[in-house]
Protein backbone atom coordinates (compact mmCIF):
# COMPACT_ATOMS: atom_id res chain seq x y z
CA UNK A 1 0.00 0.00 0.00
CA UNK A 2 2.81 2.45 0.85
CA UNK A 3 4.52 1.77 -2.47
CA UNK A 4 1.39 2.59 -4.48
CA UNK A 5 0.88 5.79 -2.47
CA UNK A 6 4.44 6.88 -3.30
CA UNK A 7 3.84 6.19 -6.99
CA UNK A 8 0.61 8.21 -6.93
CA UNK A 9 2.30 11.15 -5.16
CA UNK A 10 5.25 11.12 -7.56
CA UNK A 11 2.89 10.94 -10.55
CA UNK A 12 0.86 13.89 -9.22
CA UNK A 13 4.04 15.90 -8.58
CA UNK A 14 5.42 15.25 -12.07
CA UNK A 15 2.07 16.07 -13.69
CA UNK A 16 1.84 19.25 -11.61
CA UNK A 17 5.28 20.35 -12.74
CA UNK A 18 4.44 19.67 -16.38
CA UNK A 19 1.11 21.54 -16.23
CA UNK A 20 2.68 24.41 -14.28
CA UNK A 21 5.47 24.71 -16.82
CA UNK A 22 2.98 24.76 -19.69
CA UNK A 23 0.90 27.45 -17.99
CA UNK A 24 3.99 29.63 -17.44
CA UNK A 25 5.02 29.13 -21.07
CA UNK A 26 1.59 30.12 -22.40
CA UNK A 27 1.31 33.17 -20.12
CA UNK A 28 4.79 34.34 -21.08
CA UNK A 29 4.25 33.85 -24.81
CA UNK A 30 0.84 35.59 -24.82
CA UNK A 31 1.98 38.76 -23.07
CA UNK A 32 2.68 41.49 -25.63
CA UNK A 33 6.06 43.13 -25.71
CA UNK A 34 6.12 46.71 -24.42
CA UNK A 35 6.24 49.37 -27.13
CA UNK A 36 9.67 50.91 -27.52
CA UNK A 37 10.23 53.55 -30.20
CA UNK A 38 13.88 52.62 -30.74
CA UNK A 39 13.08 48.92 -31.17
CA UNK A 40 10.08 49.73 -33.41
CA UNK A 41 12.21 51.78 -35.80
CA UNK A 42 15.39 49.66 -35.70
CA UNK A 43 13.87 46.14 -35.60
CA UNK A 44 10.72 46.05 -37.74
CA UNK A 45 10.41 42.28 -37.22
CA UNK A 46 9.48 42.98 -33.56
CA UNK A 47 6.62 45.36 -34.42
CA UNK A 48 3.92 42.69 -34.41
CA UNK A 49 4.83 41.85 -30.82
CA UNK A 50 4.61 45.53 -29.78
CA UNK A 51 1.62 46.80 -31.75
CA UNK A 52 -1.05 45.86 -29.20
CA UNK A 53 0.85 47.69 -26.45
CA UNK A 54 1.33 50.69 -28.76
CA UNK A 55 -2.38 50.88 -29.52
CA UNK A 56 -3.36 50.46 -25.86
CA UNK A 57 -1.07 53.21 -24.54
CA UNK A 58 -1.26 55.70 -27.43
CA UNK A 59 -4.34 57.57 -28.57
CA UNK A 60 -3.66 57.68 -32.29
CA UNK A 61 -7.02 59.17 -33.30
CA UNK A 62 -6.61 62.92 -33.58
CA UNK A 63 -2.79 62.77 -33.58
CA UNK A 64 -1.12 64.78 -36.31
CA UNK A 65 0.68 63.03 -39.14
CA UNK A 66 4.00 64.58 -38.12
CA UNK A 67 3.62 63.25 -34.55
CA UNK A 68 2.81 59.77 -35.85
CA UNK A 69 5.92 59.79 -38.07
CA UNK A 70 8.01 61.13 -35.17
CA UNK A 71 6.71 58.29 -32.95
CA UNK A 72 6.82 55.42 -35.47
CA UNK A 73 9.43 56.52 -38.00
CA UNK A 74 9.10 56.78 -41.76
CA UNK A 75 6.33 54.57 -43.16
CA UNK A 76 6.89 51.93 -45.80
CA UNK A 77 5.52 52.19 -49.32
CA UNK A 78 3.35 49.14 -49.60
CA UNK A 79 0.46 47.19 -50.97
CA UNK A 80 -2.11 49.09 -48.87
CA UNK A 81 -0.80 52.61 -49.57
CA UNK A 82 -3.42 55.23 -50.46
CA UNK A 83 -3.14 59.03 -50.75
CA UNK A 84 -4.67 59.56 -47.29
CA UNK A 85 -2.82 56.91 -45.26
CA UNK A 86 0.56 55.68 -44.11
CA UNK A 87 1.49 52.03 -43.65
CA UNK A 88 3.87 50.16 -41.35
CA UNK A 89 4.88 46.55 -41.88
CA UNK A 90 4.34 44.56 -38.67
CA UNK A 91 5.88 41.32 -39.93
CA UNK A 92 4.61 37.83 -40.55
CA UNK A 93 1.17 37.06 -39.18
CA UNK A 94 0.96 35.08 -35.97
CA UNK A 95 0.16 31.40 -35.87
CA UNK A 96 1.78 28.13 -36.72
CA UNK A 97 1.74 28.67 -40.48
CA UNK A 98 2.53 32.26 -41.41
CA UNK A 99 1.89 32.77 -45.09
CA UNK A 100 0.77 36.41 -44.94
CA UNK A 101 2.11 39.60 -43.40
CA UNK A 102 0.41 42.06 -41.06
CA UNK A 103 0.33 45.81 -41.61
CA UNK A 104 -0.67 48.81 -39.47
CA UNK A 105 -2.57 51.24 -41.67
CA UNK A 106 -3.25 54.75 -40.40
CA UNK A 107 -5.68 57.07 -42.23
CA UNK A 108 -5.71 60.86 -41.99
CA UNK A 109 -8.47 63.42 -42.48
CA UNK A 110 -8.19 66.67 -44.46
CA UNK A 111 -6.42 68.35 -41.53
CA UNK A 112 -3.73 65.62 -41.43
CA UNK A 113 -5.00 64.19 -38.14
CA UNK A 114 -5.51 60.45 -37.63
CA UNK A 115 -9.09 59.58 -38.45
CA UNK A 116 -8.80 55.79 -38.22
CA UNK A 117 -6.33 52.92 -38.06
CA UNK A 118 -6.48 49.20 -38.68
CA UNK A 119 -4.31 46.11 -38.73
CA UNK A 120 -4.67 44.23 -42.02
CA UNK A 121 -3.30 40.99 -43.36
CA UNK A 122 -2.25 40.75 -47.02
Tens-place pLDDT, residues 87-120: 999 988 877 777 889 999 999 999 999 999 999 9
**Contact in structure between 103 and 80 (CB atoms under 8 Å):** yes
Low-confidence winner among 4-8, 11-15, 18-22, 95-99 (lowest mean pLDDT): 18-22
Within 8 A by CB and 6+ apart from 64, the residues are 112, 113, 114
**Closest of 36, 113, 107, 119 to residue 67, by C-alpha:** 113
Instruction: Give this prediction's pTM.
Output: 0.72
CA–chain centroid gap for 76, Å, is: 18
pLDDT tens-digit map of 28-80: 555 568 999 999 999 988 999 999 999 999 999 999 999 999 999 999 877 78
Q: Where are the beta strands (DSSP E) in the chain?
A: 85-92, 101-108, 114-121
Amino acid sequence: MKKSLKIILITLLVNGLIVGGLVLFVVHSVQPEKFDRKTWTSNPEKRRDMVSDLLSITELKGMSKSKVVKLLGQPENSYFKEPDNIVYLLGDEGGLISIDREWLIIWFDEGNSVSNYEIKVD
